[in-house]
Structure 1
């Protein structure tokens, strides 16, 4: 490349020639992104996985570095570009794609990776001589900001790319990124910021969060959309005999034999389950029933050790595996061209997740993606029909960004104080320029500064909370090495239950498991993990020591992530599908989907006992069993909203007459069970579905203080109020819980205006109880015609909710027997 590359046109020619050499043709969206970047614009690229998005942004970054190197006689040392990825697993692939381009256009352009997996030796080498492009995670970027002379490190930075931005948006890791970018914009004068996002409902807002609130970000920014229409085919796996009373007991395992022909027909199949425990069970049952799959079927989830996961990923690429049973650990990024077929077990709870998984098959531009949907109970066939419409019309969820996350702000300010220190008057405008803290007041800012220097009003007598010192010139700085070290160990916003490693007695690491599951086991208990039955020998330190067991029955670990709820879009699609079903049951010649045809026995039975609600109707069913008086309500809004609605209604009914209830709920509705009859007419007459006084009643009904107390544990960890421990000596979860509860009580009694204390309540209502959705649901119900059906016995719609409540009380064998007895009575 002797000739000087001075113009944008010459640079673009280099890229186009390289694509020609690879026998590729650049997409329109790739060319649009190249031009926008080389014109100095910031932006957000909306493109599906597997469409060449890495080359859309790495090509212009590399070309700009090339142009600079030709201009300057001597290459400027140091970092030119940062590529942020939410998942470590993606960094290797991004690195391979970036290196391939560099080696052909200029082999002196270097690429490096820095994540939690990078060795100490490698990090030290990077510190001495940074690569041109560094691929890293949000947490590792914060660690770089906590190091001395970070401003020199980022001084010549030209570009930051945040990959999978939709995954960070709506989490505190996203807030962490906003704050880091606000600093980098000041330190690196010529910085261009780009995000890459899959399709979400609020793309324009996603761009504002990335680049700062509208107005500031609009003048010099673009939103580039890849117009690649991905064809998605949804195939439902329908059982031959339909049960009339569906229940979620079998996790779909009764359809195991229907799945095997699909696996045998395809090169490679990914079988997605919603939870890690379901993943373990499916793998185990598949191996038991079809031992010929040994060596051809593997399992992949986030708790299995890294070596095994990487081996599985490589084996998929090399087409050495017929099938992999997995969880969302394979949702993102990892590019597998050979995958032909996807099977989704059970409703995926959200449209975006379903489309993302479908896109894993036919993972090349122009190919059709096929996804098989396997319902774990009959009602989920309605979800299948709804998802087919969503795939056709591309209906996807919004991701709601966090606002005023003071725990993340306190952590970030301490990070700056640990490295070079900061002057509040310089940092305040930077923080105000972010989307999360655009409404930050001077009073709140002063509170945060006081908190990091004294611990605030309640804690000012304890030295351990005086982390940051104010020097003579007004600089805020951490000068204590112990404080700095502890802070660096705890940087991050991912707070989960303490994780213990699972090892064989004779050595050999299997993976990790959450403390709350292990704490329920006694030595000698057998549990299933990583596809094996293991006997617990003892828990020693942070290790669970086990040996292999030949016992057939075993407990299946449950992980905290197992409780998923419907998204708002999914709920809406489901309701529409149900209204269609209500209309079409009586029409013999109506054009029906095969899902609705298969559901006819259930729908007819539902009509016999009650009704199927239509668009303007809200259904309440009451009946009596030997357990007591049941009242079942059907908002079809997802389990989180139903949990809150159930508590709210129980509280409001108890104000009319003193009754106590037990509450059960699933994604379709909720049940109030009592030993005395509810006067339903009184409930309807008193307008108990009103959205008035919602916050006040929720507060009283839900034991909101208890929920906020649990939420506060995470806030306390992120804000550095409690220390989680050193790498080999982590603090036990129950100790963390008790220290944070103690602080919570201190703030409640002596400093109720403490911003972190208040944040615990805000997050409980906004993120856990989805108060906004709850309000909308109540407003909808208020405009509907409420139909109350007093039934003789449980209906097909109510059956899954009743059996869910029994599950909590009975072991699985007893539950199976009990349900069979109930079914015999109902079928009469």
Structure 2
């Protein structure tokens, strides 16, 4: 904290600050002044600049004179402040941060935590009396709203703080939060609402989304407070001694292990971020193998580990006992680890905001620089590293927007509110329309939601389990069935994932959870790595995998969903600008100098994509005729674009194409020759949006993709349940149930709102049709540069590898890739890429080592697959 003291601040607050030798920043004083007059708002400030203290001291200053302990015995006041966080680790850290100021300024208050980690005894105590300040998650807050006494319980809440608002704003958890805040404002019209964020590109929209259509509190307009934005951010890269000129995605990055060990050694304390939990497990094991002396000071942290393990790591980082923690997004947000002075990011962060967020975990205090070191897992990530740093320095951060009118979340909310004291439809409609997410909810959609919770729509009316909410004699809608009420509360939330199985020692401690689909692949006696331990599966009992320590054996890595992050549009545009500079002969950053030989081969054999130039390539191989196109629009857009072009190219006759794609481009492979030079320009034309929608849906197996989206929607809407009280359902059961509902609705209830939502989410999220239209629009203004290749180019090669992963072959995939790379390197001539410029044969000797083969095999084994890929692979296996 730093700046001059102002005399109009609460004297007790000033005294507490002076005792610590602090001085407040101007933005902190602005927040205190706004909260003192009862205003709502949002604080946007760099990570580690003091956001939490700004809003928390503002809340204490605004309420401490007004809210006092109750009764002669001085019971703590009832619940007055809700602090909503998106992650459990952040919730626990926030509770630790707010307790010291509270004890000094409001000693009669109490504080508590309510999340998925809260013990049953703590929950029981909170059920009797909630603390004055409750740190919670969106799901746990919604559970409170489902209590019959919700209004009485929450009517005294005066301040609601939403931490890391950018993390929630763009998804259904954010919609759930919007609805909860709207409900709280109904209970307490004078509610002050504040959001905190460090990485948002659309601040005004973020403020509107947080506060909805009621941005004023008792006539006081909302405020946007801009805090410190000049925090020093150091972004550097560990350059490989010999990087590939023909790179492909899918590595764990373990070839960089010596450099990472050295970087950790040089740091006082650091975090090693990975993008996947399986990758975190592998890196933790590899680091311990390289440095056995780090046992006890090297830690592993991800969301599937048991709460006790995670808390031990978090406290160890705070106290400086942990030298390095290998982690995932479980430590992304807002956690204050003062000893950490460096962050290592394994692989591309895939987004500018995510990079800045993770960097902020180092130097997490005012005045201290934040340092993040990027560790590329393949050569093309050097390009992304340089682009990311340029985007950060230019202040280019991704924007977030709220989903619009998701009916599955609304259906869940209706049941929640019906449990929480009941509702009258006309009053609740006005309340939910006060949110940005449902501002445009029309009468027909609203009536459909009411009908659905009352009797499940026309196709389920005969089944009592779907008569969840009914109006009583006074017109108040309630849940009359206690069994349905219990089932709803157990399944509240919008996070949908594979069914999880607990991992527990025989007769011993619980280690955490893994996905059911992973355990289903193992037989008793198989070994796998989890929590940094080599374990042997003994048996599976009632959704619990009982294990013991394994003596030896090759370990499989657990598989979790959500491991594949798409490249953001902001970062993709930055990559194109880096390529434009390379096309003009400018290699200004260390990363671009390191990857220069790769780009020079791409330029010599083909061309470099730029914002003004769309590069496409054709190639004839034994497999057929290839087309490679590089729009740099992200994986989701490329799926729609590749399918669209293939569909157009096959008209009016039928044709068959194999498709491969990544974040940079896509490949179409045809068994018959196609004159792409003549046809491609007309295939890239942008039609009106309604025609584009028809073409996109016609070009894909839209029914199969929509069916997958429907399973998630059905779970949120309460059609199917991840668990019942005392019972867990397998993922196979969930899929079968969802498929049955999908078929029933298609046949007997085609106007079902959830079917329409599945198609809408398919277009807006999975295929991102608006971004697809924007990409086609941008292509119209680009020059098409089409090249006939003699050998696959450095950009084409990783697309071919993507396709090889789907093919069944007697030749191991890693071996086949290594052979192809060797052939391409001989054709390219010269030296391999890298700071040391090692001879090509040395690079391939390293690649053909057992470590490289294991790295590749593990990466391929744990990679996420799209449903269309899995379906094609199943088809090949059937016909083989």
Shorter-chain TM band = over 0.9
2:15 is equivalent to residue 14 of structure 1: no
C-alpha distance in 1 between matches for 2:215 and 2:558: 49
Of 671, 674, 678 in structure 2, the residue corresponding to residue 678 of structure 1 is 674
2:733 is equivalent to residue 735 of structure 1: yes
C-alpha distance in 1 between matches for 2:590 and 2:739: 53
C-alpha distance in 2 between matches for 1:635 and 1:159: 47
C-alpha distance in 2 between matches for 1:13 and 1:728: 53
Tell me by how many angstroms 1:554 deviates: 2.7
* Mapping of residues 436-475 of structure 1, within 5 Å: 436-475=437-476
Secondary structure, aligned partner of 1:459:
coil
2:187 is equivalent to residue 191 of structure 1: no
Return the TM-score normalized by structure 2: 0.89
Secondary structure, aligned partner of 2:547:
strand
Contact 2:45/2:226, CA 8 A, preserved across alignment: yes
Tell me by how many angstroms 1:326 deviates: 1.3
Return the TM-score normalized by structure 1: 0.94
Partner of 2:126: 126
Contact 2:486/2:725, CA 8 A, preserved across alignment: no
Partner of 1:705: 703
C-alpha distance in 1 between matches for 2:98 and 2:245: 55
Contact 1:542/1:729, CA 8 A, preserved across alignment: no
Of 759, 763, 766 in structure 2, the residue corresponding to residue 765 of structure 1 is 763
Partner of 2:99: 99
1:624-679 CA-to-partner distances (Å, cap 9, x unmatched) read 23333221111111212112222222111111543312111111111112322222
Secondary structure, aligned partner of 1:663:
strand
Tell me by how many angstroms 1:23 deviates: 1.0
C-alpha distance in 1 between matches for 2:100 and 2:268: 28
* Mapping of residues 646-795 of structure 1, within 5 Å: 646-692=642-688, 693-795=691-793
C-alpha distance in 1 between matches for 2:653 and 2:782: 25
Contact 1:16/1:26, CA 8 A, preserved across alignment: no
2:138 is equivalent to residue 138 of structure 1: yes
C-alpha distance in 2 between matches for 1:735 and 1:434: 35
Partner of 1:112: 112
Tell me by how many angstroms 1:701 deviates: 1.6
Tell me by how many angstroms 1:466 deviates: 0.9
2:628 is equivalent to residue 632 of structure 1: yes
Partner of 1:387: 388
* Mapping of residues 161-560 of structure 1, within 5 Å: 161-213=161-213, 220-560=221-561
Partner of 1:42: 40
1:335-372 CA-to-partner distances (Å, cap 9, x unmatched) read 11111111111111000000111111122211222211
Contact 1:242/1:601, CA 8 A, preserved across alignment: no
Worse-matched range after superposition: 604-613 or 354-363: 604-613
Secondary structure, aligned partner of 1:457:
coil
Tell me by how many angstroms 1:730 deviates: 0.7
C-alpha distance in 1 between matches for 2:68 and 2:540: 61
C-alpha distance in 1 between matches for 2:306 and 2:254: 26
2:609 is equivalent to residue 608 of structure 1: no
Report the CA distance shift for 1:761/1:300 in structure 2 as closer, same or farther (over 3 A): same
Report the CA distance shift for 1:71/1:456 in structure 2 as closer, same or farther (over 3 A): closer
C-alpha distance in 2 between matches for 1:598 and 1:114: 49
C-alpha distance in 2 between matches for 1:111 and 1:646: 54
Report the CA distance shift for 1:812/1:48 in structure 2 as closer, same or farther (over 3 A): farther
Tell me by how many angstroms 1:214 deviates: 7.9
Report the CA distance shift for 1:295/1:127 in structure 2 as closer, same or farther (over 3 A): closer
Report the CA distance shift for 1:266/1:812 in structure 2 as closer, same or farther (over 3 A): farther
* Mapping of residues 576-615 of structure 1, within 5 Å: 576-584=577-585, 592-615=588-611
Contact 1:652/1:688, CA 8 A, preserved across alignment: no
Tell me by how many angstroms 1:25 deviates: 0.9
Worse-matched range after superposition: 676-685 or 454-463: 676-685
Contact 2:583/2:608, CA 8 A, preserved across alignment: yes
C-alpha distance in 1 between matches for 2:412 and 2:40: 27
Of 22, 26, 30 in structure 2, the residue corresponding to residue 32 of structure 1 is 30
C-alpha distance in 1 between matches for 2:522 and 2:467: 40
Contact 1:157/1:190, CA 8 A, preserved across alignment: no
Secondary structure, aligned partner of 2:558:
coil
C-alpha distance in 2 between matches for 1:812 and 1:366: 58
C-alpha distance in 1 between matches for 2:211 and 2:810: 51
> Mind listing any 5+ residue stretches in structure 2 that lack a counterpart?
1-5, 828-880
Report the CA distance shift for 1:71/1:120 in structure 2 as closer, same or farther (over 3 A): closer
RMSD of Structure 2 on Structure 1 (CA): 2.3
Kindly tell me the number of residue pairs found equivalent between the two proteins: 816
Contact 1:691/1:779, CA 8 A, preserved across alignment: no
C-alpha distance in 2 between matches for 1:811 and 1:519: 24
C-alpha distance in 2 between matches for 1:549 and 1:627: 44
Tell me by how many angstroms 1:618 deviates: 0.7
Partner of 1:800: 798
C-alpha distance in 2 between matches for 1:399 and 1:189: 27
Partner of 1:643: 639
C-alpha distance in 1 between matches for 2:778 and 2:155: 54
Contact 1:252/1:345, CA 8 A, preserved across alignment: yes
Tell me by how many angstroms 1:580 deviates: 0.9
Tell me by how many angstroms 1:820 deviates: 2.3
Report the CA distance shift for 1:560/1:324 in structure 2 as closer, same or farther (over 3 A): same
Tell me by how many angstroms 1:689 deviates: 4.0
Contact 2:527/2:534, CA 8 A, preserved across alignment: yes
Partner of 2:82: 82
Secondary structure, aligned partner of 2:458:
helix
Partner of 1:4: none
1:207-233 CA-to-partner distances (Å, cap 9, x unmatched) read 111111487689610001112411111
C-alpha distance in 2 between matches for 1:810 and 1:352: 39
Tell me by how many angstroms 1:297 deviates: 1.7
1:77-110 CA-to-partner distances (Å, cap 9, x unmatched) read 5222111111122223322332211222231122
Tell me by how many angstroms 1:727 deviates: 5.0
C-alpha distance in 2 between matches for 1:789 and 1:731: 53
